[in-house]
Homo-oligomer: A and B are copies of this chain.
Amino acid sequence: MQKPSLPKGTRDFGPVQMARRNFILETIKDTFQLFGYQQIETPAMENLSTLTGKYGDEGDQLLFKILNSGDFLKKVDLNDLSEGAAATLPKVAEKGLRYDLTVPFARYVVMNRNELTFPFKRYQIQPVWRADRPQKGRYREFYQCDADVVGTDSLVCEAEIILMIRRVFAGLGIQDYKVKINNRKILTGIAEVIGESGKEGPLCVAIDKLDKIGWEKVKEELTDRGFAENAISKLSPLVSAANESSEPLSFLKSFLAASEIGMQGVRELEEVFEIMQSMGEDLSHVEPDMVLARGLSYYTGAIFEVKVNQVSIGSVSGGGRYDNLTGVFGLTGVSGVGFSFGVDRIYDVMEELNLFHEEDSQGTQLLLAYFDEKSFSYALKVLTQFRKAGVRSEIYPDQAKMKKQLDYASKKGIPYVGICGDEEIKSETIALKNLLTGNQESLPIYEVISRFTAVN
């Protein structure tokens, strides 16, 4: 008899984990809907032609491919074996598993462009698959949770992203975090004013390491990457200012004065903050970060990243504005801005900070327990009344000793047991036992119902 196992890098989610994940996802969904985002879902499988070439060479390697159905060797001949896997692949596989939610979304927008109402605000919560080497905290199947608006340049969207992040974190009980924001145009401007136009890519890769390796090492790396000595020394005041991080915008206004695009980036940042102020919102948790650069090749405007302080996990959410999401599928001029909550990381953060509460679990609130056939019958009738009132309740289905019934409740995390015996039948009550405190009181059914529905 085989002993079953899971493919490496994959996980089951049991009841406790699911309840916690649902709490996170419901909080996020609720916020997306409050802001007018609409949910879509796309298939797990996409044509390989849709996926390939969108994630770089490494990404192509990490795509899970689906073997063609039926005789998958049909088109393969002897030559292919010597040509190797890459050459043979197109003959045996036409489909692959979704690698992220962005490419399927772009495909969806292009295929439905005539039916959609723009600006189109969509959210999507689905698993993605990557054939990465599994390691702690990195899985081959994990959920992404994305919100994007496409078809508008309005910075109202950037402001709303910040507001949504803050609302989600408030709902989850995460208090100590920052929403870092930058703008690609600022990065372009920085490269310009130090005389290295167009090199914001390598510049940011190096500067990103400031926290870890310090300015001296970053300077070495910049030299290795071909930055002029003069350019590097021009960068010095920026690095000092970034470290202090007081009033970065006013620093940038003088630092970038000579760069038109750089100044435009600063103005865009300011405008986002002004919109928030018009909305009557403060700027708490918001932190301009002039060297934030995630996924630089992709973003053309705002860049976001959320970091929770005091925990081992870093970034839990990120995103930004892109000018040309759908260009690769032939539809140009669709500008958008989006971001993604890292559900697995948020889960780990909440566990580390001990923020999960069992009340959030949607688990059974009450188990009815009984001694014999007669009280079983009574309990069944009472059960119906509880359920009609919306109280999540159950009965131990087999005739069993009281201890076994109480054990079941306790192991399943059910907080209350309603004990039914002769006394209760006579008085139309139940003996309501709080399993946490051990307290027990005799109460009429309607009284118990009103307690539970009030708490609910």
How many of chain A's residues have a CB under 8 angstroms from any CB in B? 108
Answer yes or no: A455 CB below 8 A from chain B CBs: no
* Most B C-beta atoms less than 10 A away, residue of A65, A66, A89, A129: A66
B129 touches A45 (CB 8 A): yes
Instruction: Find chain B residues with CB under 8 A from A107 CB.
Output: 4
Give bound CA distance, A368 to B75, whole Å: 58
Rounded to whole Å, the gap between the CB of A250 and the closest CB of chain B is 24
> Which residue of chain B has its CB nearest to the CB of A13?
B41
Rounded to whole Å, the gap between the CB of A254 and the closest CB of chain B is 29
Instruction: Find chain B residues with CB under 8 A from A408 CB.
Output: 117, 119
Write the A293-315 contact mask toward B (1 if CB under 8 angstroms, else 0).
00000000000000000000000
The segment out of A108-116, A430-438, A440-448 that lies at the interface is A108-116
The segment out of A240-248, A274-282, A352-360, A418-426 that lies at the interface is A274-282
Q: Which of B2, B70, B92 contacts A330 (CB 8 A)?
A: B2
Instruction: Find chain B residues with CB under 8 A from A110 CB.
Output: 4
Q: Which residues of A, 320-335, contact B by the 8 Å Cβ criterion?
A: 328-330
Answer yes or no: A411 CB below 8 A from chain B CBs: yes
Q: Would you list 30 pairs from A and B whose C-beta atoms are within 8 A, ordered by A residue? A: A1-B330, A3-B330, A4-B49, A7-B43, A12-B108, A13-B41, A14-B115, A19-B38, A33-B392, A34-B391, A34-B392, A34-B393, A38-B412, A45-B140, A66-B66, A66-B67, A67-B89, A67-B92, A71-B84, A72-B85, A72-B89, A76-B81, A81-B81, A117-B408, A117-B412, A119-B396, A149-B397, A156-B380, A279-B380, A279-B383
Besides A2-B49, A64-B66, A77-B81, 4 more A-B contacts (Cβ < 8 Å) are A18-B39, A38-B363, A61-B70, A117-B408
Residues of chain A whose beta carbon lies under 8 Å from any beta carbon of chain B: 1-7, 10-15, 18-19, 22, 33-36, 38-47, 49-50, 61-62, 64-67, 69-74, 76-78, 81, 84-85, 88-89, 92-95, 97, 107-108, 110-112, 115, 117, 119, 121-122, 127, 129, 131, 140-141, 149, 152-154, 156-157, 275, 278-281, 328-330, 362-364, 377, 380-381, 383-385, 387, 390-398, 408, 411-412
